[in-house]
Amino acid sequence: MKMEGCRFMSLDIDTKCLHIESEEGYGEHYGSITYPIYQTATYAHPEVGQSTGFDYSRLQNPTRQQLEKMVAALENGTDALAFSSGMAAITALMEIFKPGDHLITDADLYGGSIRLFDNINLKNGIEFTRINCSKEDVEGYIKENTRAIYVETPTNPMMRVIDIERVAAIAKKHDLLLIVDNTFLSPYFQNPLNLGADVVIHSGTKYLGGHNDTIAGFVVANRDDILEKLRFIIKTVGSGLAPFDSWLILRGIKTLGIRMERAQKNAFEIVKYLQSEPMVKNIYYPGIEGTESYEISKKQARGFGAMLTFEVESAALTKHILKYTKLIPFAESLGGVETLLTYPYTQTHADVPEEERIANGITDCVLRMSVGIESAKDLIADLKYAIDSYDGYKAQYI
């Protein structure tokens, strides 16, 4: 869509998901409403010293570039880079640090990120301290070699909400980068760069793609020095997103707003049901009033999202629920149109040391639910059937 830059910036996010600024307008691609898939590895040069702006698709591809502009626009960053997975994005980002650098991270992170830090980055000389950034004194952990603070909020899977502005102020004071993995709320509900973060990470596999059908990842920033380093890394290591997958994520983003709203509405309904279940001991969802997470969310986000975690009375009941929900699959991942149940204890957080997992509250009685866009009535009936049938089956587990 051809628009003046300043007018474009004032568009609501629902509109931005469909129309991003372009000098070309629709004319350039035969009027195609959908951005084309440039399924090409390489590009012809008119003559020595001239290029169309594209040389080789490991470096850049027009479809990937269109997606990067889109994600940058949604997060209010100056630019974004699209990677072959969320983990590829975080791996590339970690390359901006040097041996001897130290990072403070929240303790409740995606298990794959902890696996990367502990098994690859640590080996390359980068040190980590994992703390509870919502409770502990973050400043007290800063050392001479500390370079960054890395958090997810809401945290994964315990749904603690971290005050981004508070942590950003500490980062600024000590000249550290604040990196926020914004996967759980998506840019639809939260924009960490506007709250003082320097870098935003996304697993595009989740809400941005939204259909449980594509793996992708993003780094978004508004600092040219960081973006330049990342362009060098993506070109050198070759972890950029493929053209077809870029197109799938662009297609997913078109419905980001309505998916997020619907999934959040369902999440509220499911929380209400779980609150009425005596066998459910704890529910972790930032939309529950009267909690600190609720108050911080109200301040920094436009919604509470559709991720929720709950603890039931026994490990046997978690296993029973995972076996007897028929509509809701027991599967890793989140953020798609289909509701999924995850068992962090053996799935996403299996590689987190046992002691740390328990300290964070990830017991064998905890289930994480990514609420999708089905009918809330059907989702609740499925859960209720699984929970209600437990008594009758109890004997087989004991």
Ligand X SMILES: *Cc1c(COP(=O)(O)O)cnc(C)c1O
Q: Which residues are catalytic?
A: 58, 110, 181, 206
353 to 30, 72, 189, 345, 349: CA distances (angstroms): 55, 35, 32, 11, 9
Q: Does 215 bind ligand X (CB under 6 A)?
A: yes
Angle, helices 243-253/62-75, rounded to nearest 10 degrees: 30
Q: Does 36 bind ligand X (CB under 6 A)?
A: no
Q: Does 87 bind ligand X (CB under 6 A)?
A: yes
* Nearest distance in Å: CB 148, ligand X: 16
Site for ligand X in 133-162 (CB under 6 A): 152, 156
For residues 164 to 183, the per-residue mask of contacts with ligand X, x marking binding by CB under 6 A and - elsewhere, is -----------------x-x
Q: Which is nearer to ligand X, 217 or 372 (CB)?
A: 217
Tokens of 22: 């372009």
Q: Does 368 bind ligand X (CB under 6 A)?
A: no
Q: Does 190 bind ligand X (CB under 6 A)?
A: no
Q: Does 360 bind ligand X (CB under 6 A)?
A: no
Q: Does 214 bind ligand X (CB under 6 A)?
A: no
* Nearest distance in Å: CB 184, ligand X: 6
DSSP 120: I
Secondary structure (DSSP) of 233-287:
HHHHH--BPPHHHHHHHHHHHTTHHHHHHHHHHHHHHHHHHHHT-TTEEEEE-TT
Cα–Cα nearest to 198, from 172, 163, 229: 172
* Nearest distance in Å: CB 90, ligand X: 7
User: Which residue reads 């999202």 in tokens?
Assistant: 305
Angle, helices 224-237/86-94, rounded to nearest 10 degrees: 110
- Which DSSP helix (H) or strand (E) runs through 388? helix 376-388
Q: Does 196 bind ligand X (CB under 6 A)?
A: no
Alpha helices in 126-242 (DSSP H): 164-173, 186-189, 224-237
Q: Does 110 bind ligand X (CB under 6 A)?
A: yes
Q: Which is nearer to ligand X, 88 or 317 (CB)?
A: 88
One-letter identity of residue 185: L
Spatial separation of the C-alpha atoms in residues 172 and 198, rounded to whole Å:
10
Tell the burial category of 178 from Cβ atoms under 10 Å away from its Cβ (0-12, 13-18, 19+): buried
Q: Does 257 bind ligand X (CB under 6 A)?
A: no
**Region near ligand X per CB under 6 A, out of 25-33, 105-113, 121-129, 296-304:** 105-113
One-letter identity of residue 234: I
Q: Does 205 bind ligand X (CB under 6 A)?
A: yes
Q: Does 309 bind ligand X (CB under 6 A)?
A: no
Q: Does 250 bind ligand X (CB under 6 A)?
A: no
* Nearest distance in Å: CB 11, ligand X: 27
**Region near ligand X per CB under 6 A, out of 13-21, 203-211, 359-367, 378-386:** 203-211
**Region near ligand X per CB under 6 A, out of 82-90, 115-123, 251-259, 318-326:** 82-90
DSSP 141: G
Q: Where are the beta strands (DSSP E) in 316-376?
A: 340-342, 366-370
Q: 227 pairs with which residues across the strands?
A: none
Q: Does 198 bind ligand X (CB under 6 A)?
A: no
* Nearest distance in Å: CB 321, ligand X: 21
**Region near ligand X per CB under 6 A, out of 20-28, 108-116, 192-200, 260-268:** 108-116
**Region near ligand X per CB under 6 A, out of 115-123, 169-177, 202-210, 385-393:** 202-210
- C-alpha dihedral sign at 260, 261, 263, 267: positive
Q: Which is nearer to ligand X, 120 or 381 (CB)?
A: 120
Strands 307-312 and 366-370: antiparallel
Q: Does 203 bind ligand X (CB under 6 A)?
A: yes
Among 77, 86, 192, 240, binds ligand X (CB under 6 A): 86
Q: Which is nearer to ligand X, 110 or 310 (CB)?
A: 110
Q: Are 166 and 184 in contact (CB under 8 A)?
A: no
* Nearest distance in Å: CB 112, ligand X: 5
Question: What residue number has its CB nearest to ligand X?
Answer: 86
The binding site for ligand X (CB under 6 A) comprises 85-87, 110, 112-113, 152, 156, 181, 183, 203, 205-206, 215, 217, 334
